[in-house]
Chains A and B, each alone.
Chain A
Amino acid sequence: MKIPKRTLRSGGIQGSRATRWIFVGPAMLVVICLLIYPLLSTLMYSFTNKTMIRNDFDVVGLQNYIDILTDGDFYSAFGHTLLWTLFSVLGQLIVGFIGALALNRVQNKVAKNLFRIFAIIPWAFPAIATAMTWKWLLNGIHGFVPTLLRDLGITPELIQFLSDKNLVLPTLIFINIWFGAPLIMVNVYAALQTIPQDQYEAAQIDGASSWQSFRYVTAPHIRTVVGLLVVLRTVWVFNNFDIIYMITGGGPAGASTTMPIFIYDTGWTGRLVGKASAASILLLLFLVILCVLYFTVINRWEKEDK
């Protein structure tokens, strides 16, 4: 509480210690209170047998970690998370990237704007609306898509997108691609606009094919943006709870249970806060390792760009 007082007095002094801190202080407080503290708190719970319904708890050492690492459900949830993340991000990237390239070729201003607005619609869908709309479209009794497929004779009976264990995860991934591709498309498109036109012209004069001009002009210019988008999407998809929770809740028989759903089930429904905390820590650890790898690559690109 001392900091603001001092800085108010010394506000005018250039770059004084206090001024610096009033700029970055609030954000640092947010990080410390809302992120570091809960992280430490979770770390602490992960070594205890705390449950939701009791406020006293004992330290149990590594027991929770042992429990989790010997729990088949954990590995199944972890596997689902990897599939869910990999295919969602890849799908979003491919669909969105091609969309951006296509949009870049469209010359007609009206058409361009219309496509942009249409494509951005899924992204404007709040998770709950995404969930409800798709649940209703894919409903296995009265849903539009299964009924249409049956009536057209494509499937013999109503196809069970959300209750067949083999279809549920691919269906969720499809919905996630639907939801996330526009973000990639719009951002990649914006990045494409920053490429100086003369470089393309120069490439053309040198007799470059369109693939070559993509490879040597387009790609280097946008790879940092794409890399960052991939990081952001990966983190987001990896940690995403809402979409799966609201559409299937992780079912049937855990066929769509990802790590966040597993943690929710353990901590909130199963009340085992200690075990859920340990699972959270493992999840975070994995994500951090993944992102360090990503950033190593992106940093190298950034250096090359300079």
Chain B
Amino acid sequence: MKKLLSLSLAAALSVSLLAGCGGGGGTAETDNPPANTSFQPAGEAGELSGEITFWHSFTQGARMEAIQAAADQFMADNPGVTINIETMAWGDFNTKWNAGITTGDLPDISTAQNTGEVVEMLNAGVLVPMDSTIDAIGRDLFSENALADMSMDGATYGIPYYSHAQVMWYRTDLLEQAGLEVPTTWDEFYDAAVALTNPDEGLYGCAVSCSPNDLLCTRYLNYYVRSGGGSLLNDDLTANLTSDLAIEGINYWVNMYKNCSPAETINYTVNDHATLYYQGTTAFDFNSGFQISGVESNRPDLLDYISCAPLPKMNEDDPYYSAEATHIPLVTWANSEHPEICQAFIEYLYQTDNYLDFLAAVPVGMLPSIKGIDQNEEYLSNPTVQQFSDEAAIITQAVEEGTAIGFEHGPSAQAGLLTSQGVIEEMFQDIITNGTDVETAAKAAEDELNEIFATMVA
């Protein structure tokens, strides 16, 4: 008992003493200039040793295991190295690293949710350039657009790990039963969604989910606005929710919510939302190839009845457009004490075998960010890749022609904040729940976003 007492006393005392010192100033660690001075490339430097932490948001079993397996093998090859892998939910990720700047709890390597988040991280000054890693893997293997999205002042701060893009998913069996064609315009889409909505049988046309912890409303609104040639950001990077197109888009999705969506989705996040389609509750959905593995694990019986098409257009004869392509990047953090291990491990992840294993965790959902992989025999031998080759082609086209939300004006922290702050989602909730007038709500949300931009962008 006495031992315990003295232990707890010591602990309590040290808290107070150190707290006193550290009280006002916050931490200085993250303010250090990035240590991106030249270091030996992996493999040639001899023994690597040290501990690094890797944060990722791949909470799904297969991806998590693929990364863990790669890390285990890397640790076996480099006995001096420890890699701590920490997974967190998509929704928590942004909050976690934001808080980490104050709490000092930051990783050495992490994923980012999209290129927009990389720019947010850059804005906060927490990343180091990854050019030497990119060059080691082969700069020309990556999509130029993707790298450009994560570049600032000539340095690139993220490496695309996998890519995907938003397309329209539908259920062939339901369309057939109702005698409907695959919709190509927003009007057709709306009519089809209404026709397929039948709550008594637990079937809904299209879910519209508005949790402010996620970005779905922004995403949906962005489809609509982009299809009409507009943007949610002005050229001067202020928010634009009050253009005629944006107002029309807001009305479109509010109607969709009222007539085709389960009411409960007003509080749904991406995962809750996607699960509706996985389980056969919604007839249409917008997502990437992740739908395939989702349906496969929830309702394997439906796997033969899902397919995808490009996003609906405003008018039948509008040119092709892609509203949103996402490259999930890996980034290296400035506070890392072992950039050499980070680089070596990232290079290791991109070694063909490891990379193929990772992609195979969610085939077609995660499309390769490295050129040539999609011609690889092993890649092509995957049964899902074979079954969904048409869908993969549609998504690939959308990846190649699209950018992240708001990146049509080039990479900006504003674009990241557009999706990460939930302002547009709150606006939708406000309109739906409180019956607020669309134009009033849009104006208020626009002002709020502009205020956030002003506060947050240094």
Contacts and interface: CB of A to CB of B under 8 A. Distances in A.
Asked if the two chains touch in their complex, CB atoms less than 8 Å apart, one says: yes
Interface of A: 1, 4, 25-26, 29-30, 32-34, 37, 41, 44, 50-57, 139-142, 157-158, 160, 162-165, 248-249, 251-255, 268-273
Given A33-B19, A56-B26, A248 B12 contact: no
Contact of B267 (A1, A249, A268, A273): A249
- Per DSSP, chain A at the interface is loop
B267 A44 contact: no
B390 interface: no
B98 to A, nearest CB: 5
Nearest to A44: B24
A97 B382 CA distance: 64
Contacts of B276: 141
Contacts of B210: 251-252
Contact of B16 (A32, A44, A163, A252): A32
Given A41-B23, A52-B99, A251 B12 contact: no
A37 B199 CA distance: 55
Contact of A273 (B102, B124, B432, B434): B102
Interface string B417-443: 000011000100110111000000000
A225 B272 CA distance: 44
Contacts of A163: 263-267
Interface string B28-69: 101100000000000000000000000000000000000000
Nearest to B103: A52
B281 A251 contact: no
B234 interface: no
B6 interface: yes
B101 A52 contact: yes
**Chain B: interface size category:** 35 or more
Contacts of A1: 13
Contact of B98 (A160, A255, A268): A268
B456 interface: yes
Interface in B437-455: 452, 455
Given A30-B12, A37-B19, A254-B426, A140 B456 contact: no
Given A41-B23, A165-B434, A272-B455, 10 more contacts: A25-B9, A26-B5, A139-B264, A141-B202, A162-B264, A163-B264, A251-B267, A252-B429, A269-B421, A273-B102
B212 interface: yes
B264 A29 contact: no
Contact of A141 (B20, B262, B426, B429): B262
Nearest to B430: A253
Given A25-B9, A29-B16, A37-B19, A248 B267 contact: yes
A162 B267 contact: yes
Interface in B77-100: 95, 98-99
B291 interface: no
B145 interface: no
A100 B28 CA distance: 56
Contacts of B16: 29, 32-33, 37
A157 B432 contact: no
Nearest to A164: B263
Given A29-B13, A33-B19, A157 B199 contact: yes
Contacts of B434: 165, 253
B9 A29 contact: yes
B211 interface: yes
B266 A252 contact: yes
Nearest to A40: B23
A1 B17 CA distance: 10
16 contacts: A1-B13, A29-B9, A33-B19, A44-B24, A52-B99, A55-B25, A55-B102, A162-B264, A163-B264, A249-B212, A251-B210, A252-B266, A253-B266, A253-B432, A255-B433, A270-B452
Interface string B169-210: 000000000000000000000000000000100100000001
Contact of A54 (B15, B124, B264): B124
B421 A55 contact: no
B15 A33 contact: yes
Contact of B31 (A55, A160, A165): A55
A221 to B, nearest CB: 38
B351 interface: no
Interface string B280-307: 0100000000000000000000000000
B18 to A, nearest CB: 10
B110 interface: no
